[in-house]
Amino acid sequence: MMIIDKLYERVLKNGPVCIGLDPREELLPEYLMKKDWSMGEKIFEFNKMIIDATLDECACFKPQIACYEAFGLDGMLAYSKTVQYIKSKNGISIGDVKRGDISSTAEMYGKGHFEGDFEADFITLNPYMGCDSISPYNKYFESGQKGAFVLIKTSNIGSEDFQESMVDGKELYLKVGSKIKTWGESFVGRSGFSALGGVVGLTYPEEFKKIKDECKGLFYLIPGYGAQGGNGKDAADMIGEEMCGIVSSSRGVIGAHKGINEGESFAECARQAVLDMKGDILKWL
């Protein structure tokens, strides 16, 4: 089974929630912070408990690599152990690495994040440098076992600076989306979706409608729920009855315990946050 089909089946079974594993020191529960462990050990234990508590109620997990790089080698060990643990539990991982560089460098990024210590099922990519910054990953997509989500219209306010620029009478983000659709046509699974999908922020629902009309058949990673202002109705409108995407939340899930439960059962709060988020989205479908 292609990884995009596995993800789509997981969405249909468990719902469209993607959990952002973006650990920060202030989000860890007090009981973990009191342990005489390295920060990397604390982070991995934090992630592990959240994964165990939510695996059956979410579609996938998305560790943001910057939150691990900030803690140096210890943090990167936690990142490696996290993606490997997700795989051991038959979960699906998205390495949120946002790589985008010339072909020779992209080849090494592919080797680094689709093989070895940091291997994930999907990664995120930045298309700013064009087709030859994406094509080196094609051999992984052709295998059916790997996929990527490429930035189209991101959730941050600054996305308006460039992504909404008009090029030949069309917004730049629409031209990017069309390119991604074309690049991904060779990697379509039985679900009808390509292993090469797009990233569109939940904070831009009107723009998403344009992208969806222009780029039929793309599967989307949709960040921005909760802390960034996105809501369940907009998410439901975006993914539609065809469930063409996953909706990501980080702080709203992994920080749900703060001020409520700082003990060993803190992950129960993450599970409830996922259930609440899923309910908030599905009730509109």
Q: Which residues are catalytic?
A: 98
From residue 47, give the alpha-carbon distance in Å to each of 20, 22, 248: 10, 9, 16
CA angle (268, 229, 95) in 5-degree steps: 65
Q: For residues 22 and 47, give the distance between their C-alpha atoms in angstroms, rounded to a whole number.
A: 9
Cα end-to-end span (Å), the chain: 27
Strand order in the sheet with 196-200: 60-63, 17-21, 245-249, 220-223, 196-200, 147-153, 122-125, 94-99
Q: For residues 12 and 58, give the distance between their C-alpha atoms in angstroms, rounded to a whole number.
A: 10
Record the tokens describing residue 270, joined without a space.
Answer: 């993450």
